Structure 1
Amino acid sequence: MSTTSEASSPEGTPPAGSPDGTSPPAPSDDTAPTASATASAPAAPEMAGGTTDRRTRSGWWPLLTRLHFYAGVLIAPFLLVAALTGLAYTAVPQLDQLVYSEQLRVEKVGDTAKPLTEQIAAARKAHPEGSIASVIPPEAPDHTTKVVLSVPELAEQDKQRTVYVDPYTGEVRGALTTWFGSTPLATWLDDLHRHLHLGETGRLYSELAASWLWVLVLGGLLLWFGRRRAYAGGSKRNTLLPERGARGVRRSRGLHAVTGVWISAGLLVLSATGLTWSAHAGERFTELRTSLSAYAPELDTSLSGGADGNAGHDHSGGHEAATSGGLPAGLTVDQVLEKARAAGLDGPVEISTPADDRSTWSVAQTDGLWPVRMDQAAVDPHTGEVTARVEWADHPVLAKLSTLGVRAHMGTLFGLANQIVLAVIALGLTTGIVLGYRMWWQRRPTRGDRRAPVGRAPARGTWRQLPWPALAVAAPLIIAVGWAFPLLGWSLLAFLVLDALLGLIHRRRADHAAVRA
């Protein structure tokens, strides 16, 4: 981790050969032998002048230990915030039903729903402002119809006004300011998780957490499984379950590691999916998708077969309708939906109005539950002909993975099961962080002449133990990773500079103390 090496470790500084920064214990100690300590046990050959050549592959272990320690101590607060805010977001579906039941559900399920045209007329009577952007028929018998309006003052914030109508009575149940279909509460919790309501600056916290999360997970797995192999008393059970009879820091370390092992796959998925829509690493991902042409095909909503494939999804409300702020002339919404159903678009759908008189209606499936249904169709507003279609099967693999990953990250891909898994991962991450800090505190010196508030960091200068070929390969790899994940790269560089300065200050103090002695 460090670019400097100390001439000698200060009293109480843990040796570099221990993955948790502790000295190799005596048999009766409360700690277990470490992977690197065991691997480094054989004496290295002596060089001329009585020095020892310490460059060995086992040098990776103390270096990885130091990286894991510093990243854990400094990045864990960001991860803790992300875990707790993410935990709150997992409950969004239930919170929405609790807070907005008046808008989202009908009081009594009737026998026959009114035509969508009548429901839209009721919504427009109550809310004549703006223009109709889309209509979302009820997804279940006890759900309301959503009429989404594009209102100029809200469009600047990428928000809409959604009017909720009882499909059986035509009664307007209320209206909410929504963001891509999310209720105000869901939007507030989403903003809290993404940027703590601090705007673009706040997004740096979540990207920093996601950038380091996969490093901490992979590093922790390497250290733990390496330690289990090196520890003579280790077993497969102790790798996946807490060690029986362990006490003190050994018990905390075991719980910390085992918790990480069980949730590691989920953490890696969350890290990867979170980075795809981050500010800086997300830009790199966008460049990759562009170079690979890995975007979902766009639905052509032009009546003339023109190039503006995004027109059918324009919710700006810029088109002139047949009636002011109403629907365009030609087919009714009910007829458009009928044509889409006949074309095979079953399940939940969203019907978007034409952008102008040269565009079609667009109907898109919105079923995000696995297996997803996300086909789209363009419907001619005059003839009812399906002029274009995009099927989920047509999406490139990377586009599919991105879509599915984002939905899994948001807890909507597998319904309630997805929410429960995310909650368990968030609680597990929180537990692992608390245990990590507990280990740091438990390892503090407690003797009268060596007291300290927390444990010391693993010894610096461990990179000097690595073979030159390993350094030659690692350096460009680290640079490449830093380019792909800019916040990871810059924060790692900051760690190295700070660590080098601290090492320089320590050596000068040690030199002054030696001169005075």
Structure 2
Amino acid sequence: MSAPAVEVERTEETPRTGTISVVPLLRRLHFYAGVLVGPFLVIAAATGMLYAFAPQIDGVLYGDQLRVGSVGSSTRPVADQVAAAQAALPDGIVTGVQLFDDPEATTRVVFALEGLPAEHSRTVYVNPYTAEVQGQLTTWFGATPATTWLDNLHSNLNLGVPGTLYSELAASWLWVLALVGLVLWVQRRRTAKRRARALLLPEKGAKGVRRSRSWHASLGMWALIGTLFLSATGLTWSTYAGENFSAALTALNAKAPVLDTKLPGSTGSAPSGEHSGHGSGEPTAVPVDPATFDRVLGTARTAGLDGPVDVTPGAPGTAWSVAQTDAVWPMRQDKVAVDPATAQVTARADFADRPFLAKLSSWGIQAHMGVLFGFVNQLVLFLLAGAILALIVFGYRMWWQRRPTRADRRAPFGAAPKRGAWTQLPLWFVIPAPLVLIAIGWAIPLLGLSLLAFLVLDGLAGFVRSRRREEQQA
């Protein structure tokens, strides 16, 4: 690319003196946010692509445990399967049984075992037709070691709580980048003929930075809804924004009803918990009679809980819980509490009775995990993550293409949009902006803190450059 062409691009990006517009500020925000948050988004997108296909990865790594060799004509009683698992793991205490409607799936008997990390269990995989044990794995809320590793890689880089800051920062800025990019592209193409085509397809005949920008922007238009969805659903279970989201659901009385496992006549209450996005409770580890599983399961089936279910023993003096675990659309997520002594249903919590926001949250989480619409969901997530990676590549390429190339002004990258954009802001934008920023900063703390840090650092850098310029002129 010739030097004059580069200079033309820089001139076009430079705000005109006296122009009242929010575009120069948005352009500067989009540039710096993209440069600084881009690496975090690369990691999130790449690890998300892997996690989306965790079921297939599990099938390759743990097929011997997860699948039966041949499908039989009838299944053995759950009590026989639990007894076989207990014989294979005599030191453990049964805390749940996971049953599936897939005829090729094994039954998973979950154990509490001394010495395991927090929130981990030992799962024994039993052939439901022969009651033979096919293996055992250490699991996390029902997830295999590989899925657990991929989940943690995506959410916290396997660094624990400190690592969650990276994914929350990426999710916090993703929607900002998407919406600001939308405004910038619409503003740039506002006078183009066949405007819809100009917005959605790359510019014909464009070269250099113009070509990169048209591909970056048009691809961003196609991925807009998906990126907003990933940002919103990712924030719902993040560390800080997720807490605010949960508090908002509580204030709106929009959380899913909790299954009450208190038995009639008892004084205590033991609500059944649920891990966000994984669907397994945290039961109390006490010895149980395997025969009780069949009795409780039969009652739950009679109560209408078909499909895959988790049967979870309760603490002494409380009911057992049976929860549907079908997360594919339409979801089956009903729960019942069953008295293990009388085999009577004592309470239930149906998915249909959840507030709309609670349903929406469940649908969003399962879609984010690639489960809600099966393989199609996985494929869409894969393509969306690939689009985000391509957007970042085009963005950095534009930065490199806009670098000065004249012999006396060479630089490794292009210059950032000029400072002073705030002086061009219209009054209608300036007046509500502080309140809006405070609200957003409270709801999404990492976004607010990182934006504040950028403003402080940018202000200090501007002050230092101004002082140097004054010293050179003196």
Name the TM tier (shorter chain).
over 0.9
Paired residue for 1:126, among 84, 88, 91?
Answer: 88
Q: 1:472 to 1:94 in 2, by over 3 A?
A: same
Q: 1:238 to 1:469 in 2, by over 3 A?
A: closer
Alpha-carbon distance in structure 1 between the residues aligned to 2:168 and 2:337 = 37
Instruction: Measure how far apart 1:307 and its partner are.
Output: 5.6
Are 2:318 and 1:359 aligned?
yes
Alpha-carbon distance in structure 2 between the residues aligned to 1:251 and 1:289 = 45
Are 2:260 and 1:300 aligned?
yes
Are 2:73 and 1:111 aligned?
yes
Aligned to 2:159: 198
Q: Which runs of 5+ in 2 are unaligned?
A: 275-280
Alpha-carbon distance in structure 2 between the residues aligned to 1:286 and 1:137 = 30
Bigger mean CA deviation after superposition, 466-475 or 451-460: 466-475
Aligned to 1:391: 350
Aligned to 1:334: 294
Are 2:275 and 1:315 aligned?
no
Alpha-carbon distance in structure 1 between the residues aligned to 2:102 and 2:169 = 40
Instruction: Measure how far apart 1:468 and its partner are.
Output: 3.5
Aligned to 1:374: 333
Paired residue for 1:506, among 465, 470, 474?
Answer: 465
Aligned to 1:225: 186
Paired residue for 1:492, among 451, 459, 463?
Answer: 451
Bigger mean CA deviation after superposition, 395-404 or 405-414: 395-404
Are 2:430 and 1:475 aligned?
no
Question: Are the aligned partners of 1:312 and 1:360 in contact in 2 as well (CA < 8 Å)?
Answer: no
Question: Are the aligned partners of 1:312 and 1:355 in contact in 2 as well (CA < 8 Å)?
Answer: no
Alpha-carbon distance in structure 2 between the residues aligned to 1:223 and 1:369 = 37
Bigger mean CA deviation after superposition, 73-82 or 505-514: 505-514
- Structure 1, residues 364-404: CA drift from partner, whole Å, max 9, x if none? 11100001011111112122211111111111111111111
Alpha-carbon distance in structure 1 between the residues aligned to 2:135 and 2:284 = 21
Bigger mean CA deviation after superposition, 434-443 or 139-148: 139-148
Question: Are the aligned partners of 2:288 and 2:313 in contact in 1 as well (CA < 8 Å)?
Answer: no
Alpha-carbon distance in structure 1 between the residues aligned to 2:103 and 2:397 = 51
Alpha-carbon distance in structure 2 between the residues aligned to 1:316 and 1:229 = 59
Instruction: Measure how far apart 1:512 and its partner are.
Output: 2.4
Paired residue for 2:239, among 264, 270, 279?
Answer: 279
Question: Are the aligned partners of 1:150 and 1:316 in contact in 2 as well (CA < 8 Å)?
Answer: no
Are 2:404 and 1:442 aligned?
no
Alpha-carbon distance in structure 2 between the residues aligned to 1:239 and 1:138 = 47
Paired residue for 1:433, among 392, 404, 411?
Answer: 392
Alpha-carbon distance in structure 2 between the residues aligned to 1:254 and 1:311 = 52
- Structure 1, residues 127-161: CA drift from partner, whole Å, max 9, x if none? 1122111111233111111101122322x510111
1:41-60 equivalent positions in 2, closer than 5 A: 54=18, 56=20, 58=21, 60=22
Are 2:27 and 1:65 aligned?
yes
- Structure 1, residues 276-298: CA drift from partner, whole Å, max 9, x if none? 11111111112211211221111
Instruction: Measure how far apart 1:311 and its partner are.
Output: 5.1
Paired residue for 1:178, among 113, 135, 139?
Answer: 139
Are 2:122 and 1:161 aligned?
yes
Task: Name the TM-score, length of structure 1 as normaliser.
Answer: 0.86
Aligned to 1:8: none
Question: Are the aligned partners of 1:55 and 1:467 in contact in 2 as well (CA < 8 Å)?
Answer: no
Instruction: Measure how far apart 1:55 and its partner are.
Output: 6.6
Paired residue for 2:207, among 226, 247, 254?
Answer: 247
Question: Are the aligned partners of 2:200 and 2:221 in contact in 1 as well (CA < 8 Å)?
Answer: yes
Alpha-carbon distance in structure 2 between the residues aligned to 1:67 and 1:288 = 28
Instruction: Measure how far apart 1:104 and its partner are.
Output: 0.3
Question: Are the aligned partners of 1:214 and 1:271 in contact in 2 as well (CA < 8 Å)?
Answer: yes
Alpha-carbon distance in structure 2 between the residues aligned to 1:352 and 1:467 = 60
Question: Are the aligned partners of 2:100 and 2:307 in contact in 1 as well (CA < 8 Å)?
Answer: no
Instruction: Measure how far apart 1:360 and its partner are.
Output: 1.4
Amino acid at match of 2:142: G
Alpha-carbon distance in structure 2 between the residues aligned to 1:307 and 1:349 = 26
Are 2:81 and 1:94 aligned?
no
Alpha-carbon distance in structure 1 between the residues aligned to 2:273 and 2:156 = 30
Instruction: Measure how far apart 1:239 and its partner are.
Output: 1.1
Q: Describe the SS at the equivalent of 1:425.
A: helix
Question: Are the aligned partners of 1:312 and 1:353 in contact in 2 as well (CA < 8 Å)?
Answer: no
What is the identity percentage for the equivalent residue pairs of Structure 1 and Structure 2?
54
1:72-83 equivalent positions in 2, closer than 5 A: 72-83=34-45
Alpha-carbon distance in structure 1 between the residues aligned to 2:180 and 2:227 = 13
Alpha-carbon distance in structure 2 between the residues aligned to 1:62 and 1:128 = 68
Alpha-carbon distance in structure 2 between the residues aligned to 1:104 and 1:318 = 24
- Structure 1, residues 82-113: CA drift from partner, whole Å, max 9, x if none? 01111111110100011000000011111111
The number of aligned residues is 463
Instruction: Measure how far apart 1:198 and its partner are.
Output: 1.0
Question: Are the aligned partners of 1:345 and 1:375 in contact in 2 as well (CA < 8 Å)?
Answer: yes
Q: Please say which structure displays the higher CA radius of gyration.
A: 1
Amino acid at match of 2:432: V
Q: Describe the SS at the equivalent of 1:152.
A: coil
- Structure 1, residues 454-487: CA drift from partner, whole Å, max 9, x if none? 0000000110111344212111111111111111
Q: 1:188 to 1:482 in 2, by over 3 A?
A: same
Question: Are the aligned partners of 1:327 and 1:353 in contact in 2 as well (CA < 8 Å)?
Answer: no
Question: Are the aligned partners of 1:302 and 1:311 in contact in 2 as well (CA < 8 Å)?
Answer: no
Bigger mean CA deviation after superposition, 136-145 or 482-491: 136-145
Q: Describe the SS at the equivalent of 2:347.
A: strand
Alpha-carbon distance in structure 2 between the residues aligned to 1:96 and 1:382 = 38
Alpha-carbon distance in structure 2 between the residues aligned to 1:217 and 1:312 = 35
Instruction: Measure how far apart 1:309 and its partner are.
Output: 4.0
Are 2:223 and 1:263 aligned?
yes
Aligned to 1:44: none
Alpha-carbon distance in structure 2 between the residues aligned to 1:371 and 1:55 = 52
Q: Describe the SS at the equivalent of 1:509.
A: helix
Q: Describe the SS at the equivalent of 1:205.
A: helix
